[in-house]
Amino acid sequence: MFLSSRISYFLCSCLLVYASFSFYPKWEKSGGEALISWDVYGYYSYLPAIFIYKDIKKQVFLDTIVKKYHPADDHKPGYASKNGNWVMKYSSGMAVVYLPFFTAANLLAKPLGYPQDGFSLPYQFFIQLGGVLFALIGLWYFRKLLLLFYNDIVVATCMLLLAFGTNYLDYSAIDVGMSHSWLFTIYVFLVLNTVYFYQNYQYKYAIRIGLLIGLATLIRPTEIIAVLIPLLWGIVHISKISIKQRLWVLYTHRKKMFVAFLCAFVIISIQLIYWKYITGNWLVYSYEDQGFSFKSPHIIEYTFSFDSGWLVYTPIMIFAFIGIIPFLRSGKNKLAILSFFIINYYIICAWNQWWYGGRAMVQSYPILFFPIASFLNTVLQRKYLLWIVTPIAIVFTYFNLWYIYQCHTIGFIVPNDYMTNVYFWKVAGRWHVPNDVNKLRYNTDYFEGIPQNLQLLYSNDFEKDTVYCPFPPVDGKVSLYLDKDHQSTAVYRFPYSIDHANWVRAEATFLTINKEWTPWLMPQFIVRFYKGNDIVKERLIRISRFIETGKTKNIYIDVKIPKENFDSIGILFLNSDSQKQVLIDNLKVWSFN
């Protein structure tokens, strides 16, 4: 009966399984690319702390894990509280959903010949397997949910757009240890059980709703807004009559409401008990200096920035905004869906670390696909719209697949990795790009061609520099160097008089003792234009993009001469808090046309 959507589900499932276990099996990776790394490392650490090391308070074992596996460089997922206990930064919800798969890995690790330490290969594999299974279940019930409201062709198309055209693919198949696709499935079940509850008001659905809201909140505390879905579901209009009717329903079934609340509270109390046990306080804000700007949410940046804007990197979700128009006209449960959409989006955009990107929207896709389904329903009824929308959807889907592929292979565009609009348009959708284009990540000035009328403005071989360098110099007797104790050089500044040039090129020879891989720690090669002591213009590149460990290379940066008046040029080398070592020599600066 539902052949089209069944075929769609099969195709989507094949894609997820292929991406997870063939294209990029993250469970086989190591260091910061391992499945249990960075945020996942934080979500997960509750489990080995409790079940393997019996050390939830101090978590001394993390020192050994960091040295052996490097899951987040040399960082630990938390901080020391005033009483000396270790407080986990992330809440414990993901540890709860990982638990069955962690248990399987813990039972099998030793018989399979792997360390029973919580981080060896079996643990990585079973968390990956669990995430994919959870995603496949969620995708199947996502299909069932949409079929309650839309025809089979619309549902089949929605599923294809979700799996092939959005970042759901990455978080349900590759970065599957992250919370987002797990929450996607939880939201699917929450909406389904809400629908069923308002059909017959049975206790079992109230219990499920409470447990699901509690689990979602335990995973990410801001998901407490999930309560809007069952509270507002079925309200047709915002009016006194509608509100009174809903209040009457809630009062009539108050015992079921209390049971739902109790179930949610029991789940959420897991975190409260943990905080009380570790710190002595029932409530703890574990994100320290990270927080929200509710008065000035970063809506434009979060949505459209080339750093990590949601619609820039998942453009097919533009259809969700367009779909609001037909959804308002003919959709059902408008108040619940649109209220959740707006409030959820506001909270996500208010987070001060907004550059973490569109992944925070993935869990809300079960709700956002209602407007998309309404949009598709309208498109399929009008052939001229079909001819317009289809090629756009194909282009957006191609970009999504390209983006996910290159994130894990080529690395032209990687989330939270410094981006400019010039660089984006230079590489988007392409498979081969010269390495020099990487300079556009930080420096929007980019010269292509052969410089004309080169005039040497400044040179420095640093032979007269008095700073001791503990490494053999790149050239001559002395080289500049940067390391953990020498984060910045002096500013090498020289006067400039008008010579009718358009560009400045600064070049130096670099030797990396150890390459810095973390983007925001990479050493910087900076060019500044000064008017007195004021900086008129500044441009930089990060040299680790262009050199490998143990290699010596000449690297240059081109900068357009500013139109504003300036009287000198300065060159600075900065290590950005990196502890890696880099040597610098033979600085030269030219002007050219």
Alpha-helical segments (H) within 323-441? 324-330, 334-350, 365-381, 383-407, 421-427
Instruction: Write out 368-380 in H/E/C secondary structure.
Output: HHHHHHHHHHHHH
Q: For position 1, what pLDDT does the model report?
A: 46
What is the rounded distance in angstroms from the CA atom of residue 437 to the CA atom of residue 454? 22
* pLDDT, tens digit (0-9, with 9 covering 90-100), for 377-418: 999 999 999 999 999 999 999 999 999 999 999 888 887 777
532: phi > 0 → left, psi -120 to 50 → alpha, else beta; which? left
* pLDDT, tens digit (0-9, with 9 covering 90-100), for 439-479: 998 888 999 889 999 999 999 999 988 777 888 999 999 99
pTM: 0.93
Q: For position 3, what pLDDT does the model report?
A: 66
- The stretches in the chain having pLDDT less than 70 are 1-3
Query: Which is it for the CA torsion 123, 173, 338, 240, positive or negative?
Result: negative
Residue the block writes with tokens 């957006």: 396
Q: For position 387, what pLDDT does the model report?
A: 97
Go through the domains of the chain in sequence order and give each one's CATH number.
1-178 (no CATH), 188-282 (no CATH), 292-433 (no CATH), 455-592 (2.60.120.260)
How many of the other CB atoms lie within 10 Å of CB of 346? 14
What is the rounded distance in angstroms from the CA atom of residue 55 to the CA atom of residue 45? 11
